[in-house]
Amino acid sequence: MEEDRNLSRKTVLRAALAAGVAVPAAFVAAPALARTRADGPALEPTPMCDDGDDPTPPQMEGPYFKPNSPQRTSMVGDGPGTRLTVSGYVFGLACQPLSGVLLDFWQADTNGAYDNVRFRFRGHQFTTAQGAFSLTTIVPGLYPGRTRHIHVKAQAPGRPVLTTQLYFPGEPRNNTDSLYDPRLLMTVRNAGGGREAAFDFVLNVPGAPGTTTTRPTTTTTSPGGGTWTPGTTYPVGSRVTYGGRGYVCLQAHTAHAGWEPPNVPALWRAE
Interval 242-261: pLDDT, tens: 989 999 998 888 887 778 88
Coil vs helix vs strand at 168: coil
Taking the C-alpha atoms of residue 59 and residue 64, their distance in angstroms, rounded to an integer, is 14
Of 85, 89, 73, 84, give the one whose Cα is nearest residue 15.
Answer: 89
Whether the CB-CB separation of 127 and 154 falls below 8 Å is answered with: no
Taking the C-alpha atoms of residue 47 and residue 229, their distance in angstroms, rounded to an integer, is 43
Taking the C-alpha atoms of residue 257 and residue 260, their distance in angstroms, rounded to an integer, is 7
Residues 6+ apart with CB under 8 A from 3: none
Residues of the chain with CATH 2.60.130.10: 76-202
- DSSP assignment of 86-155: EEEEEE-TTS-B-SS-EEEEE---TTS---SSS-TTEEEEE--TTSEEEEEEE-----TT--SEEEEEEE
Q: What per-residue confidence (pLDDT) applies to 17?
A: 63
Q: What per-residue confidence (pLDDT) applies to 13?
A: 60
Q: What per-residue confidence (pLDDT) applies to 260?
A: 87
| 62 against 45, higher pLDDT | 62
Q: Which stretches of the chain are DSSP H helices?
A: 2-5, 9-19, 25-28
| 70 against 26, higher pLDDT | 70
Judged by average pLDDT, the poorest of 102-106, 149-153, 206-210, 246-250 is 206-210
Q: What per-residue confidence (pLDDT) applies to 24?
A: 42
Task: Tell me what the mean pLDDT of segment 142-168 comes to.
Answer: 95
Phi and psi angles of residue 252, each rounded to the nearest 5 degrees, phi first: -60, 135
Task: Tell me what the mean pLDDT of segment 91-102 comes to.
Answer: 92
Judged by average pLDDT, the poorest of 35-49, 148-162, 165-179, 180-194 is 35-49
Coil vs helix vs strand at 184: helix
Please tell me what DSSP assigns to residue 266.
T
Task: Tell me what the mean pLDDT of segment 111-140 comes to.
Answer: 97
Residues of the chain with CATH 2.10.10.20: 215-271
Single-letter residue type at 150 = I
Q: What per-residue confidence (pLDDT) applies to 128?
A: 95
CB atoms within 10 A of CB 2: 5
Task: Tell me what the mean pLDDT of segment 42-65 comes to.
Answer: 68
Instruction: Identify the helix (H) or strand (E) that includes residue 187.
Output: strand 187-191
What homologous superfamily is domain 76-202 in, according to CATH? Answer: Aromatic compound dioxygenase (2.60.130.10)
pTM above 0.85, yes or no: no
Task: Report the CATH number of the 215-271 domain.
Answer: 2.10.10.20
Q: With bands split at pLDDT 50, 70 and 90, how would you rate the model's confidence at 184?
A: very high
CB atoms within 10 A of CB 208: 9
Residue 27 clears pLDDT 90, i.e. is over it: no
Of 108, 118, 119, 120, give the one whose Cα is nearest residue 144.
Answer: 108
Residue 8 clears pLDDT 70, i.e. is over it: no
Task: Tell me what the mean pLDDT of segment 15-44 comes to.
Answer: 41
CA quadruple 248, 253, 257, 263: dihedral, nearest 10: -40
Whether the CB-CB separation of 27 and 36 falls below 8 Å is answered with: no
Find which of 24-28, 205-209, 231-235, 251-255 is predicted with most confidence, using mean pLDDT: 231-235
Q: With bands split at pLDDT 50, 70 and 90, how would you rate the model's confidence at 264?
A: confident
